[in-house]
Amino acid sequence: MVNLKNLYKFRGDMSKKYMLETERLGLRLLTMADIEHLEALDSDPEVKKYFPSGGHKSRVETETMIKKFIGFHTELGLPGFVIFEKESGDFVGRCGFGVTDDGEIEVGYVLHKAFWGKGYATEVLIVMLEWAKSNIKSDYIIALAVVDNNASLRVMQKCGMQYYKTDVAKGDTCIYYRIPNR
């Protein structure tokens, strides 16, 4: 398991550029102005290949998704973030929290393929799970991936998440992991 204490630092001051940071990445709250970033991410077939109910999203679908994530934050305190490489300023992907149909708190992340294989997903998941401990009242945080997304499953394992169940999400068989949040 990765040492959580060495990879994150919190930025509670909202006047800062990023709300959460890792050594290499900055996460700021998602806004409607991020449509261009997310539209490019959600239209990439390689990125969407391992996503439950993958496939291209139209601009309207991407706008609806952003509104849903903003709603999770304003109504439930579950933020959605866009991720940037701190050194270059390049857009890396998105991540955030949501609520499943079963009422569980879920954490998720999607990275642009140019940033795969660099350990960024692990950094993002670690900082999000650590943030959740202080800010989300839930016994567990879950994450899921379609069964053949071995890279994402390894990220969950590296971050200390344990196998929870196999179930169907949005029409795809997925493996669920969870971690205690208290």
Which sequence spans correspond to the domains of the chain? 4-139
Average pLDDT in the chain: 87
Does residue 9 surpass a pLDDT of 80? no
Q: Are 55 and 40 in contact (CB under 8 A)?
A: no
Question: CB-based contacts of 157: which residues, under 8 Å, 6+ apart?
Answer: 177
Lowest model confidence (mean pLDDT) among 12-16, 92-96, 117-121, 156-160:
12-16
Please tell me whether residue 20 adopts helix, strand or coil conformation.
strand
The whole model's pTM is what? Answer: 0.87
Average pLDDT for residues 113-142, to the nearest whole number?
96
Kindly report, residue by residue over 65-84, the tens digit of the pLDDT. 899 999 999 999 999 999 99
Q: For residue 139, give the nearest of 104, 177, 95 by alpha carbon.
A: 104
- Which phi and psi angles does 141 have, rounded to 5°? -115, 135
Does residue 14 surpass a pLDDT of 60? no
Higher pLDDT, 61 or 16: 61
The topology under which CATH files domain 4-139 is: Aminopeptidase (3.40.630)
Question: Tokens at residue 142, please?
Answer: 């879950």
Beta bridge partners of 95: 81, 109
pLDDT interval class at 154 (50, 70, 90): very high
Report which residue type is found at 10. F
Does residue 57 surpass a pLDDT of 80? no
